[in-house]
């Protein structure tokens, strides 16, 4: 694919800024602002054509800002125009030392990043409708679980101080809320199961994942979502790194001899799920239990062994 134009887009809730750089003059940009709406997306294409920019030789690059980018990505995908979403942290660190920022400058920096990394750019595809629905349901369940845990702790604290403060009304209302949330969690999980049955490929992945000791429905769905049903990663090491379970050396010359450890730059929720799955597998899977006991007897720290088991879970996935 020939790329002659690098289109950096900085998106906010209401508007988005566009900066266009060319292969011959990568530090010279043309800029325009549009409304973050379907009308704005159509105006973007009209404006690009007026600037004599060849769309089939253009690459659209933007930061991953959640729902703000979804409609624009869907529009570009429908028009068969290549685009990619970048991690904001990755983009920030790759640009080196910078001073100041505004939407126009950010769009220019994204376009210049695209030029510098043009040989690595790969068009992406949005998740299927099934995965998008699953993502919404999974996020909703996560919020319910956090609220549930908070309410349980509140009720416990109120009961512990009941001799000093009469909190019967608050406890009663909190327990009603807790019961409702427990019902909502159950109903949400039923909805997740129903959506999983809509896609044959997702169903197949779920079945394979749940055959791995220590991986249940929630961990399996999380794995499917964060890998776009195992299309987002082409290397198990990269996936383990993304999940925060891959160990990295910390050495330099003869003076720096840090211990090998995992990186904090990771999907911490995914790391927690894999670690919990590994701990469950150690309890109930004989092979994993024997591995754990052998490594602990060799002097390995328990959490290091659990992390090694979590790496195995991610690679099996």
For residue 15, the model assigns a pLDDT of: 95
Q: What are the distances in angstroms from CA 119 to CA 55, 114, 188, 248, 299?
A: 18, 9, 43, 27, 46
For residue 258, the model assigns a pLDDT of: 73
Where would I find the H helices in the chain? 38-50, 67-78, 88-94, 103-116, 129-160, 168-196, 200-210, 217-226, 236-243, 268-284, 286-297, 302-316
- Cα within 13 Å of Cα(288), Cβ side: 21
Enter the tokens of residue 304.
Answer: 């290091």
| φ, ψ dihedrals at 83, nearest 5° | -145, 165
For residue 196, the model assigns a pLDDT of: 93
For residue 92, the model assigns a pLDDT of: 83
For residue 22, the model assigns a pLDDT of: 94
- Each residue's pLDDT expressed in tens, for the chain with a length of 317 residues: 789 999 999 999 999 999 999 999 988 999 999 999 999 999 999 999 999 999 999 999 999 888 889 999 999 999 999 999 998 888 888 877 777 788 999 999 999 999 999 998 899 989 999 999 999 999 999 999 999 999 999 999 999 998 888 889 999 999 999 999 999 999 999 999 999 999 999 999 999 999 988 889 999 999 999 999 998 888 888 888 888 888 887 777 777 777 778 888 888 898 888 888 888 888 888 888 888 888 888 888 888 888 777 776 665 66
């Amino acid at each position: 694919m020939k790329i002659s134009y690098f289109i950096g887009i900085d998106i906010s809730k209401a508007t988005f800024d566009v900066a266009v750089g060319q292969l011959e003059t990568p530090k010279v940009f043309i800029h325009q602002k549009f409304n973050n709406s379907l009308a704005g997306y159509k105006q973007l294409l009209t404006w690009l054509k007026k600037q004599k920019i060849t769309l089939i030789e253009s690459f659209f690059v933007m930061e991953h800002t959640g729902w703000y980018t979804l409609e624009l990505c869907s529009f570009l995908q429908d028009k068969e125009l290549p685009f990619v979403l970048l991690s904001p942290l990755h983009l920030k660190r790759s640009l080196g030392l910078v001073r100041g920022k505004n939407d126009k400058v950010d769009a220019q920096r994204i376009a210049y990043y695209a030029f510098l990394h043009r040989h690595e750019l790969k068009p992406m595809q949005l998740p299927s409708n099934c995965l998008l629905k699953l993502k919404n349901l999974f996020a909703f369940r996560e919020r319910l679980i956090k609220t549930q845990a908070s309410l349980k702790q509140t009720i416990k604290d109120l009961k512990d101080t009941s001799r000093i403060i009469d909190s019967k009304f608050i406890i009663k209302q909190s327990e009603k809320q807790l019961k409702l949330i427990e019902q909502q969690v159950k109903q949400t999980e039923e909805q997740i199961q129903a959506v999983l049955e809509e896609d044959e490929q997702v169903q197949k992945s779920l079945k394979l994942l749940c055959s791995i000791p220590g991986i249940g429905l929630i961990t399996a769905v999380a794995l499917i979502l964060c890998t776009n049903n195992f299309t987002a990663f082409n290397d198990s090491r990269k996936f383990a790194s993304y999940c925060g379970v891959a160990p990295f050396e910390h050495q330099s010359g003869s003076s720096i001899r840090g211990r090998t450890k995992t990186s904090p730059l990771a999907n911490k929720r995914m790391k927690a799920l894999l670690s919990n799955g590994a701990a469950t597998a150690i309890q109930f899977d004989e092979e994993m239990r024997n591995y754990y006991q052998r490594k602990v007897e060799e002097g390995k720290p328990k959490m290091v062994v659990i992390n090694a088991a979590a790496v195995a879970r991610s690679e099996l996935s």
